Structure 1
Amino acid sequence: MNFFDSTCQESPRCDELFGICDDQNGKKAYTSVDDNSKWVATVINKKKIELIFTAIDACVITGDQHPGRGRCDGMLTSHEHIFFVELKDKASDWITDAIDQLESTVQFFLEEHSLAQYRHKKAFACNKRRPHFQEIDQETQLKWFRSYGVRLDVQAEVIVI
């Protein structure tokens, strides 16, 4: 499985502000600068770093591949950044599921690729209905960082530093 398959990637974008959308229709997630009511995650890119969005669910990993194993919606990459992003639109009981999907995706990624080249490595669980930062217990944070070298955030803003 190739997480850098060009058929699953959008053209690079360096917008200061854009959204990541999932229309919940079985199709792949995508980015947009229009209609922020569709944005599940908001990407804040003040330095205008060139980012590539890759649709993971419904593209890199299709529905019939690895049944029963989760995958996140997409990832943003640059020369120094890799951000895995799971998009939710639920009022409650979503964080554990989102984190499980992110963890499964990071494991898939590490079976085929390395994270060594990236300086900034994060996984974001984003929810349109719960956009503000939600604290994750330190044990989970520490487990993620020790296991994968990836920081985990639960918030609807993906801030590119």
Structure 2
Amino acid sequence: MADFLTGFCQNGSPSDTILADPLFGICDDPTPPGAIPTPAYINTDLTKKATWIARVNNSAGYEVTFKAVDHCILVLKANGQLQKRCDGILLYNAHIVFVELKEQKDPGRKWASEGAEQVKQTIKDYQAAHSTEGLTVRAYVANRIQPNAQQSHFSIIQNFRKTLRIALRIEGAIDL
């Protein structure tokens, strides 16, 4: 069973970034061919906002912990293969926000559907390992190239809510 709260990636590096900045971004760099993928990370440099996939508005100044998940926390399927998982989790004041980052131009819904499934699976795996009782659970799929949810995503959002009883937002801004 995966331990999402360990504070370390499978390679021993820290998985957590703690900050209280009023505005920051979540980034996930593309992996060059032949390189080892790296986890998503926080960027607080306002001059680099163009590189942010998700923008996090923390005007209340909460102390927020960002936990990298994909390419960091080992989550395996029952058959031993690597489970698909979302890019990261934001934790603050009894809230947990699961975030999947995408950078795809797609007039259809494929990126949103894939992202929703990754978030859904990560929430299920998290809940199998840790209690979410007393926490407000939220879910986001952010796409820097297509930052706003399209009407065509309604069925994805509705299915997500029906399955997990959690609201899914498909948008580039996360308000804490």
Which TM-score band (shorter chain)?
Answer: 0.7 to 0.9
Residue aligned with 1:46, SS: coil
Please give the alpha-carbon distance, in whole angstroms, between the structure 2 residues aligned to 1:7 and 1:40. 23
Q: CA deviation at 1:145?
A: 3.6
- Unaligned segments of structure 2, at least 5 residues: 10-14, 32-36
1:41 partnered with 2:54? yes
Task: Give the match for residue 144 of structure 2.
Answer: 128
1:77 partnered with 2:91? yes
1:23 partnered with 2:29? yes
TM-score, length-normalised on structure 2?
0.80
AA in 2 matched with 1:128: R
- Pairing of 1:1-161 with structure 2 (within 5 A): 1-8=2-9, 9-25=15-31, 26-34=37-45, 35-61=48-74, 65-66=76-77, 67=81, 69-92=83-106, 93-118=110-135, 120-135=136-151, 136-137=153-154, 140-160=156-176
Name the Cα RMSD after superposition. 1.8
Question: Mean Cα displacement is larger for which, 127-136 or 48-57?
Answer: 127-136
Higher Rg: 2
Q: CA deviation at 1:110?
A: 1.2
Please give the alpha-carbon distance, in whole angstroms, between the structure 2 residues aligned to 1:5 and 1:99. 25
Contact 2:116 2:156 in 1 (8 A): no
**CA deviation profile, 1:105-131 (whole Å, cap 9, x unmatched):** 11111110111121x311100001011
Q: CA deviation at 1:141?
A: 4.0
Q: CA deviation at 1:140?
A: 4.7
Please give the alpha-carbon distance, in whole angstroms, between the structure 1 residues aligned to 2:149 and 2:89. 19
Q: CA deviation at 1:78?
A: 1.4
Q: CA deviation at 1:159?
A: 0.7
Please give the alpha-carbon distance, in whole angstroms, between the structure 2 residues aligned to 1:116 and 1:142. 23
TM-score, length-normalised on structure 1?
0.87
Q: CA deviation at 1:7?
A: 1.6
Q: CA deviation at 1:36?
A: 1.3
